[in-house]
């Protein structure tokens, strides 16, 4: 019979085996047999599973450049700070605009007036 002479010590696999290594073999390799209720990983998109796994883990998704939550103020305090400073800057700009509003508004009517003058001719 085929009894092993000696089993080498497991390497990097005992208990703490890397999940990716296990999934790689258990999902991707091994013999595929269609069961009689047709459960067969062949027709399940392994890639989809993998992508979902990545997205399932926030840190890892970030590595992939999926970082929308970083810029969403509802989800990130960092983004909230950014949001505040952005708002602040916007308000300052508008204030400045209002301050010299009298000076800036002048040219606009001038153009309109100019246009109005041209129209009849």
Partner 1 sequence: MTGLRYVYAVCRPFDAALQSQLKGVAGAPPRQLRHHDLIAVVSEVPERDFAEQPLRAHLEDLDWLTETARAHQSVIDALTVVTTPLPLRLGTVFRDDSGVRVMLEAREEGFRRTLDRLAGRVEWGVKVYAESEERESSQAPAKVSSGRDYLRQRRRSHRAHEEMWENADRFARRLHETLAEFAEDTRLHAPQNSALSGVPGRNVLNAAYLVPRAHSEEFVELVDRTKGEEPGLRVELTGPWAAYSFSGEGGETGEGGETGDSGGAATGAAGGGVDGR
Per CB under 8 A, residues contacting partner 1 are 1-8, 10-13, 17-42, 44, 46, 48-50, 52-54, 56-57, 60-61, 63-64
Q: Are 92 and 85 in contact (CB under 8 A)?
A: no
Distance of alpha carbon 66 from alpha carbon 76, whole angstroms: 14
Nearer to partner 1, 13 or 71 (CB): 13
- Least spacing, CB of residue 47 vs partner 1, in Å: 10
Nearer to partner 1, 12 or 107 (CB): 12
- Least spacing, CB of residue 10 vs partner 1, in Å: 7
Q: Given CA atoms 78, 79, 82, 87 in this order, what sign does their dihedral have?
A: negative
- Least spacing, CB of residue 69 vs partner 1, in Å: 16
Distance of alpha carbon 72 from alpha carbon 107, whole angstroms: 39
Output the CA–CA distances (angstroms, integers) from residue 13 to 30, 79, 113, 120, in the order listed.
17, 40, 83, 89
Nearer to partner 1, 44 or 93 (CB): 44
Nearer to partner 1, 54 or 84 (CB): 54
């Amino acid at each position: 019979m085929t009894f092993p002479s000696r089993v080498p010590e497991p390497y990097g696999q005992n208990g703490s085996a890397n999940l990716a290594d296990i999934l790689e073999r258990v999902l991707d390799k091994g013999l595929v047999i269609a069961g009689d209720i047709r459960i067969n990983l062949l027709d399940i998109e392994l890639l989809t599973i993998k992508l979902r796994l990545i997205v399932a883990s926030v840190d890892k998704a970030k590595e992939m450049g999926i970082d929308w939550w970083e810029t969403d103020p509802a989800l990130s305090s960092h983004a909230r700070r950014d949001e505040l400073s952005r708002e602040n800057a916007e308000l300052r700009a508008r204030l400045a605009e209002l301050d010299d509003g009298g000076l800036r508004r002048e040219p606009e009517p001038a153009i309109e007036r100019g246009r109005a003058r041209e129209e009849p001719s």
